[in-house]
Structure 1
Amino acid sequence: MTIKLLAIGKTDSGQLQQLIDVYEKRLQHYVNFEIEIIPDLKKTKNLSEEQQKEKEGELILKKLTPTDVLVLFDEKGKQFSSVEFSQYLQKKMNSGIKRLVFLIGGPYGFSNEIYLKSSGKISLSKMTFSHQMVRLFITEQIYRAFTILKNEPYHHR
């Protein structure tokens, strides 16, 4: 199985990107993991929030294949402990899917079409985080999940 993290907009902070890179590199020992960034929309001043979500949704759909399993990071999603998240990933791997795509949306969330295409929603917290920090948190949690599944000591530090 491949795990893909798809996100809207680049990471402006070099420090955050360095940390993301650390966990992305560590993950290569466990799973095919990739991060793809969809550039921010240009000329959005005259677009409503709904129009921006629709345009982002079109860009996202172009990045998906028919067999992808899409999971959204959404404030209304299910919350997991790290151990529960590792079990969630194990179930996904056991199900035989080819590619699990985790999606971080733009500043206004997702279009209705993206919600319809998704097979689930996960919430990291009831708090709101910057999209850039969410990338780091998700990458670290995926890494943590694999160390839990392999019974390695990282989770207990």
Structure 2
Amino acid sequence: MKISLLVIGKTDAGYFVDAIREYENRLGHYIPFEMQIIPDIKNTKNLSEDQQKEKEGDLIVKNLQTGDYIVLLDERGKEFSSLQFASYIEKKTHTVAKRLVFIIGGPYGFAETIYNRASEKISLSKMTFSHQMIRLIFIEQLYRAMTILNNEPYHHE
């Protein structure tokens, strides 16, 4: 199984890029991982929120593969502690055949077509974070889950 993180728009802040790259490298020791970046939609000033979500949704669909298990990172999703998330990832490694794809949507969330295509929604917090920050938080939690599953001394109770 491979884990993919699909995101809308690139991260401009160098400190986020460096931190994300660090955790990507660390994750490579445990599981195949990739972050796919979908370019931002151009000329969004002329689009309604729904139109922007639809255009982003079309781009997301183009990056999905047959057999993907899709999990949306969504404020209305299920919340986990770090230990629960590790258990969740462990279960998925036994039940997902190809790719476990986590998706971070654009600034207005997801198009209805993406909600309909997803198997699950999870939330990293009730708080709202920038799209750049949520990438780092997610990838760090994924790394933390891997260290928990391997009984390594990164996570402390």
1:11 paired with 2:4, answer no
For structure 2, which runs of at least 5 residues remain unmatched after alignment? none
Residue 46 of structure 1: how far off its partner (Å) = 1.0
For structure 1, which runs of at least 5 residues remain unmatched after alignment? none
The 1-side partners of 2:69 and 2:111 are apart by 17
The 2-side partners of 1:156 and 1:75 are apart by 26
The 2-side partners of 1:87 and 1:113 are apart by 29
Between the two proteins, the alignment pairs up a number of residues equal to: 157
| Runs of 4+ with deviation above 4 angstroms | none
- Partner-residue secondary structure (3-state), 1:153: coil
User: 2:49 is matched by which residue type in structure 1?
Assistant: E
- Partner-residue secondary structure (3-state), 1:56: helix
User: 2:70 is matched by which residue type in structure 1?
Assistant: L
Partner residue, 2:93? 93
- Partner-residue secondary structure (3-state), 1:107: coil
Residue 44 of structure 1: how far off its partner (Å) = 1.1
User: 2:51 is matched by which residue type in structure 1?
Assistant: Q
Residue 97 of structure 1: how far off its partner (Å) = 1.9
**2:71–2:101 contact (8 Å) kept in structure 1:** yes
Q: 1:56 to 1:96 in 2, by over 3 A?
A: closer
Partner residue, 2:144? 144
Post-superposition Cα deviations, 1:51-82, rounded to whole Å, max 9, x if no partner, equal: 00000000000000120001000000000000
**Residue identity (%):** 63
The 1-side partners of 2:13 and 2:96 are apart by 36
Partner residue, 2:131? 131
Partner residue, 2:108? 108
Computed over aligned residues only, the root mean square deviation of the Cα atoms, in angstroms, reads 0.9
- Partner-residue secondary structure (3-state), 2:45: coil
What TM-score comes out, normalization by structure 2 length? 0.98
User: 2:12 is matched by which residue type in structure 1?
Assistant: D
The 1-side partners of 2:45 and 2:144 are apart by 39
Post-superposition Cα deviations, 1:74-104, rounded to whole Å, max 9, x if no partner, equal: 0000000000000000110011421000000
Residue 12 of structure 1: how far off its partner (Å) = 1.2
User: 1:131 is matched by which residue type in structure 2?
Assistant: H
1:27 paired with 2:38, answer no
Q: 1:48 to 1:96 in 2, by over 3 A?
A: closer
1:51 paired with 2:41, answer no
What TM-score comes out, normalization by structure 1 length? 0.98
Partner residue, 1:73? 73
The 2-side partners of 1:74 and 1:97 are apart by 23
